[in-house]
Amino acid sequence: MEVGYTVLIALGGILLLDLVADFVGRYTLLSRVTTILIFGALVGPHALDLIPQVLLVNFDLIAQVVLIMVGFLLGERLAVEELKKTGRATRYCRLVSVT
């Protein structure tokens, strides 16, 4: 049962620190997504190694959750007016990337 507590405490700590990274992103020139990605790189196993091994074993699930969170952050800035302004360039990029 100790592993369960470790996972919950680690995830809670990561989410709290993520809120700090989000706050920093709001008041700097960097975007919030960039600050969260930098935060992830810093706490990961290649820098400060703050993530327990138990979470690294289940990294696929965590990566999917993080991508969903980043998608929501990016999606909040998506507006119909912006799409209308960049519609032609977006369609061109989409066609070029598909072919």
In tens, the pLDDT along 49-81 reads: 878 787 777 778 777 887 887 778 777 777 777
Give the dihedral sign, CA 67/69/42/2.
negative
Whether the pTM exceeds 0.85: the reply is no
Q: What are the extents of the domains in the chain?
A: 2-98
User: In this structure, are residues 32 and 26 in contact, taking their beta carbons and an 8 Å threshold?
Assistant: yes
- Number of helices (H) and strands (E), helices first, in the chain? 5, 0
% of the chain at pLDDT higher than 90: 0
